[in-house]
Amino acid sequence: MANYSFEKFTSELKKEPTLLVEIISFIEYVTTPASRKMAQGKTPQEFANVLSFLVENNKLSQDMLKFLAERIFYYLESGKIAVLQQRLAQVKQAKNVAKSLSPLRTLLDSSAITQRSSQIKKSSTFVSSDPPKIRQRLETFISSPVKSITRMFKKNVSPLSNRFETILGTNSPLESDELEDLRAQTLVSLNNKQSSIKWIALPQQDNLKKSKPKDFVKTLKGFEVMSELSREQRQVVSSLRNSLLIRAKLLTEEEIICNIINQGKRSFYHTLNRLSNLTNHRGVNKKSRSYLLAVSDEKLKKHAEIFRDRLDKCNSLQSLDSNLGKYTLASSSIYRLYADLRIIRSVKQVRDKFNQNPQKLEALMNKYLGTYGEANLKVKLNELLASNIVDAYIYKQIHRTKNVSQAVEALRKISSHNDIGKTATKVIHLLERIIDSGNRVSFQNFQTSLNFVSDGVRTKLQLLVRKELKDSLLAQVSQVSSSSLSPSEKLMKVRNFLQNPCYHDSEITLFGESPFHLDKKIDHVKGLESQLSQMISYHFPNPKIPSWFFEILEKGKSEEINSGKKTSENCYRDLGKIERRFERRELYHLRGELVNLFKLYGSVSFADIDSTILLNGYSVAKSIQDFYNQPNRTTIELPSHMQANIRDLLKKMIDKERARQVKKL
C-alpha cells in the first residue's frame, strides 16, 4: 500500500476499464451518512482498513480499496460531501476511462489528503498491547455503525453483488456490549499484520501438536504455569490463549452461528483461516484452526435441536416468521457437513410454499418433511399455518370496517360457517363484552383474551375498540353536563366513568389526559371553597378541556365541601337518602336511622322561618323517640312550626313504615 500511487491506480484502470463502474459504486456507498459517522475519530489508515475488510473479495484489489478509502476520508472527515458529490458527478459524465482520468485525479487529489493527514497523529496499530489504549480506541470505533456499513454493501447492486461475507458481519450489534467490542476489535485486527504474535519456541512444544483440538486451550493453560518458560515465552502463550478464547466466544454466539448456516461452508472456512492466523508459526495456526473448528462444530451440531425447541414454543404465525427470518440460507453447502440442519431449509420451504397454496398444507409438509417422519413438527406447523387460513378470512371481513358495530355486523355474516364461524362468534362475544360499560371489563383482559387470533386481526380489533371507547367516554361525560343531577352527583358520575377499567391501559385520552390520571387530578383538588378556582386551574392547565367540564368540577367540589356543614338543607338531603334506601327495602327499621340523623344535626334549627318558637335537632329526635315508645301508635304528629319540607318527608316515611307493620299484624 505504501508504494501504491495514482499512477498505479491509473494503470490498473486502463488494463481493466470495467473497474470504473466498481469504483463509482464504491465511492457512492462510502459517502452515505453511516460511513460519515464511522469516519469520526479515526485516522485515514484505520478507516481504510475497516472498509477494505468489509468489502473483501470485490473485483477491486485491497490496495486500490485502501487507496480510494484514504482519499475519500478527507471529504468525510472535513464535511465536504457536496464537493465530493460534485466531482463524482463529473467522473460519471465521462464517456470512457480515458476521459474519466482527469476528474478522478481531481477527486483523489493527493495534496489535500497529505496536508490533512499531516495534522493527524498516526497510531502504529489499532490493536495495541496496552489494554487502556485498546479500550479507548474501541469506544471510538464502536460509536460508528460498522453494521450499517455492512448492511449498506448488501444492497442489490450488480458491481458489488459477487462478494461473499465474513461470518462475523452482523446487521445489528451483539446483545452483549463486551462481545460487540471484541467483534469490532477482531474485525479490524484481521487486516493488521503487525498484530500477529511472534512465536517463540517452547520446551516440550510437541505436546501442543499432540493435544486434541478441543483441548488445545487447556494445553496452553498448562504451558503457562510451566516453570521452565521465560517471561517472554509465557507472554506469547498467554496472548495466544486469550485470543483463541475471544474468537471461540464470538464463533459460538447465536447470531454468528446463524451466519455460518446462512453463508455456508466456504465463508465459514475462509473466516476460520483468518481467525486462526494468529502467529507467524504455521503449525500453531493450524492447531488454532482445529480448536476453533471444534468449538463451532459442537454448537452447529446442537443447533438443529435448538431450532426445533424454538419452533415448538411458537404461539403465532408471527413468532414462526420471526424465527425463520433469521435464516436467509444464501448457501446450502453447510448441510453437507451437518445434515440435521436441513430441517431449517425444509420448514422454510413449507412456509414459503404455503403462501402460494394454503389449501395444500398437508401435501407440502409430506413433500418437504417426508410422508411418515416429523410427526410432531407437522402437528405444530398445522396448528400455526392452518389457523392462519381462518385468521386471514376474518381479517378480510373486518379490515375495512371503521367501528365496532360494522365489525360485529361483518362477523355475524360468517358466524354460521364451520371453523371460521366459531372464531367469529368468540370475537363478537369479546367485542360486545368490553363495549358494554356495565361489565367493567379491563382493556388488558380484552387484549389477553384475543391471544387465539393472529397479530393482524388482534391489532385491527384493538384499534376499533380504542376508538369506540374514546367516543363512548366523551359522549357519556358530555351527557352528564346536561343532566338534571346535582353538581356533586354529576361529579360522582363523571368519576365513575373515568374509573371504569375498560379505559385503563387502553392508551385512549380525554382532553389530552388518560382517564386514570384525569381522575387522580380530580381527587387532588382539595381545600377551601374560596381556593377552588385556583386549585382547578393549577391541576388542569390544558386548554383542550371544555368549560362545561370545569363547571362540573368546580360546582361538584363546592357541594362536596359544603356537604360537611351542619345545615337544615344538608339534613334534608341526608333524609332523602334514608328514604330512598327505605323505598328500595334496603332499610327495614327507621327509628335508629332517624333519631341518629337529627341528633347529628342537634344544634341546627328546624323551625319555620316565620316561627318564634325554637326547634332544634335534639327536639325532633325526642319527638321521634316518643312516638316509637307508644305501643298503639298509628300516625306521628310533628310540630306545626317545623320546616314543611322536612316535616312532610319525615311524616310520610314514619307513617308508611307503621302501615307496613300493622298490615303484617
Please report the pLDDT score of residue 83 as a whole number.
81
The label of the residue with cell 508459526 reads 281
pLDDT at 84: 82
In sequence order, what are the residues at sequence separation of 6 or more whose Cβ sits closer than 8 angstroms to the Cβ of residue 224?
A: 234, 237, 238, 241
What is the DSSP track for 53-106? Answer: HHTTTSSS-HHHHHHHHHHHHHHHHHT-HHHHHHHHHHHHH-SSHHHHHHHHHH
Sign of CA dihedral 311, 313, 319, 322: negative
Q: How far apart are the first and last CA of the chain?
A: 118
pLDDT in the model for residue 190: 61
What percent of the chain has pLDDT above 70?
Answer: 80
pLDDT at residue 140 is higher than 60: no
Task: Say if residue 338's pLDDT is above 80.
Answer: yes
Residue that wins the pLDDT comparison between 351 and 133: 351
Q: 14: which residues sit within 8 A by CB, 6+ positions away?
A: 97
Residue 150: pLDDT band by 50, 70, 90 thresholds?
very low
**Each residue of 47-106: pLDDT tens digit?**
777 666 555 445 677 778 788 888 888 887 777 777 888 888 888 877 677 778 888 888
CB 453 within 8 A of CB 423: yes
What is the C-alpha separation between 435 and 448, in angstroms, rounded? 16
pLDDT at 195 (0 to 100): 60
Which residues have a Cβ under 8 Å from the Cβ of 468 and sit 6 or more positions away?
A: 403, 404, 435
At 577, is the pLDDT very low, low, confident or very high (cuts 50, 70, 90)?
A: confident
Q: Is the pLDDT of residue 121 over 50?
A: no
Q: Which residue has the cell 478441543?
A: 214
Contact between 359 and 373 under an 8 Å Cβ cutoff? The reply is no
- In this prediction, residue 386 carries a pLDDT of 66
93-98-101 Cα angle (round to 5): 70
6-15, 27-36, 148-157, 650-659: range with highest mean pLDDT? 650-659
Of how many residues is the chain composed?
665
Question: At 265, is the secondary structure helix, strand, or coil?
Answer: helix
- Residue 642: phi and psi, rounded to 5, are -80, 150
Q: Above 50 in pLDDT, residue 539?
A: yes
Q: Give the CA count within 13 Å in the CB-facing half-sphere of 623.
A: 20
- Residue 145: pLDDT band by 50, 70, 90 thresholds? very low
- Cβ distance 445 to 485 under 8 Å? no
pLDDT band at 528 (very low <50, low <70, confident <90, very high): low
Mean pLDDT, to the nearest integer, of 37-41?
Answer: 63
Rounded to an integer, what distance in angstroms lies between the CA atom of residue 93 and that of residue 598? 102
Task: Give CA–CA dist 455/318, Å, rounded.
Answer: 7
Q: pTM of the full predicted structure?
A: 0.42
Contact 521, 549 (CB under 8 A): no
- For the chain, count helices (H), then strands (E): 32, 0
302-316 pLDDT, tens digit each: 999 999 999 888 877
Which tens digits make up the pLDDT trace of 257-291?
A: 888 888 888 888 888 888 888 888 888 888 899 99
Question: What is the chain's alpha carbon radius of gyration, rounded to the nearest angstrom?
Answer: 41
For residues 421-435, give the mean pLDDT.
86
User: Residue 621's pLDDT is what?
Assistant: 93
- What pLDDT, on the 0 to 100 scale, is given for residue 142? 43
Dist CA 235 CA 582 (whole Å): 95
Inter-residue contact 144 to 10 (CB < 8 Å):
no
**Is residue 76 within 8 Å of residue 39, measured between CB atoms?**
yes
**CB distance 552 to 494 below 8 Å:** yes
Q: Hunting for cell 465459514 — which residue is that? A: 268
Q: Which of 60-69, 134-143, 243-252, 599-608 has the lowest mean pLDDT?
A: 134-143
What is the DSSP track for 319-381? HHHHHHTT------GGGGT-GGGHHHHHHHHHHHHHHH-GGGHHHHHHHHH-SSS-HHHHHHH
Q: Using N-to-C axis directions, what is the helix angle for 342-356 and 282-313, rounded to 10°?
A: 40
Among candidates 434, 407, 419, 405, which has minimal Cα distance to 500? Answer: 434
The mean pLDDT of 533-555, rounded to a whole number, is 82
Q: Residues near 160 by Cβ (< 8 Å), separated by ≥ 6?
A: 22, 25, 26, 29, 55, 58, 153
Per-residue cell: 564: 360537611
Please indicate whether residue 156 or residue 220 has the higher confidence score (pLDDT). Answer: 220
What average pLDDT is seen over the chain? 78
Whether the CB-CB separation of 200 and 236 falls below 8 Å is answered with yes
Three-state DSSP class for 235? helix
User: How much is the average pLDDT of 174-193?
Assistant: 60
Compute the distance between CA of residue 433 and CA of residue 415 in angstroms, rounded to an integer: 17
Q: pLDDT-based confidence at 489, cuts 50/70/90?
A: confident
Higher pLDDT, 527 or 57: 527
Residue 642, SS3 per DSSP = strand
Residue the block writes with cell 316561627: 611
Q: Is residue 50 within 8 Å of 146, Cβ to Cβ?
A: yes
Buried b (16+ CB within 10 A) or exposed e, 44-83: bbbbbbbbbbbbbebbbebbbbbbbbbbbbbbbbeeeeee
Helix (H, G, I), strand (E, B) or coil at 621: helix
